[in-house]
Structure 1
Amino acid sequence: MTENTPVDVELLWDEFHGVVNMTSDEIRTWLLTDASGEDAFPADPRMLPELGTQVVDLLRKRKVDLTREDTEVMRKVVEFVEERTANRPADAARDERWRHALMSVGHDPLKP
């Protein structure tokens, strides 16, 4: 894997924060609800979906504290959200499975 330059990290940081439109507290609360799907384990917060918890952790970090692993997670989230939103279902407002998958990484497609 290539090294990230400061410019690359800056752009990725902006992209990540552009697609993640939920706060860390909103994501954590969402992941702890039964409504977040099969991957949710409300009885044991240590068992939450890994990518979602990584997003929560990233939102609490400063840009200067990012690691290589953090940039990989940010890239994965940006790609996931862009792919899912590009393939938006015809009735997205009613497609809970599609919305829940996006919300699990911090993007609520119904949020303005």
Structure 2
Amino acid sequence: MSGDRDVAAEFGQAVNMTAHELERWLESAESKEVGQKQDGGESTGHASGREIVRLLRKGRSSWTGHDYEHMTKVIGYIRRHLAQRPSGDVRETRWRYSLMNWGHDPLK
């Protein structure tokens, strides 16, 4: 089970927004405008953000194998996206907004 512990620890470091902060962010127009959308619907990152809120509220003792798989996906996305940081002020960029959909605010 140390693998799950490691994933949970890394997820806790990567996701630096609280469930409440992320939930509020996901309601914003900026959140809904970014990311890859299938069939014009919800973006992958926005759907992931809703799943992250669920995980944060659910609590570690109730996490399942599926939950740990999603955490691994979140960790990978955040790592890859952080490596692509644009130069200059990122406050109002699609790059930051996309990361925030995945639970990470690079300005925190």
Bin of the TM-score, shorter chain as denominator length: 0.7 to 0.9
Aligned to 1:35, the other structure's residue is in SS state: helix
Q: Is residue 2:51 matched to residue 1:57?
A: no
TM-score under structure 1 length normalisation? 0.81
Aligned to 1:107, the other structure's residue is in SS state: coil
2:91–2:107: 8 Å Cα contact kept in structure 1?
A: no
Letter in 1 for 2:48: L
TM-score under structure 2 length normalisation? 0.83
Letter in 1 for 2:60: K
Where relative contact order (Cα < 8 A, 6+ residues apart) is larger, the structure is: 2
Aligned to 2:58, the other structure's residue is in SS state: coil
> In structure 2, what is the equivalent of residue 109 of structure 1?
106
Deviations 1:11-61 (A, max 9, x none): 00000010100000100100001121426xxxxxxx683111000011112
Deviations 1:74-109 (A, max 9, x none): 000000000011121122525610000000011000
Identity of aligned residues (%): 38
Matches within 5 A, 1:12-23: 12-23=7-18
Give ranges in structure 1 of 5+ residues lacking alignment: 1-5, 40-46
Give ranges in structure 2 of 5+ residues lacking alignment: 35-41
1:37–1:100: 8 Å Cα contact kept in structure 2?
A: no
* Structure whose alpha-carbon radius of gyration is higher: 1
Cα 1:72/1:92, change in 2 over 3 Å: farther
Instruction: Give the superposed CA RMSD.
Output: 1.9
1:92–1:98: 8 Å Cα contact kept in structure 2?
A: no
d(CA) in 2 for partners of 1:92, 1:20: 21
> In structure 2, what is the equivalent of residue 42 of structure 1?
none
Matches within 5 A, 1:2-21: 6-21=1-16
Letter in 1 for 2:47: E
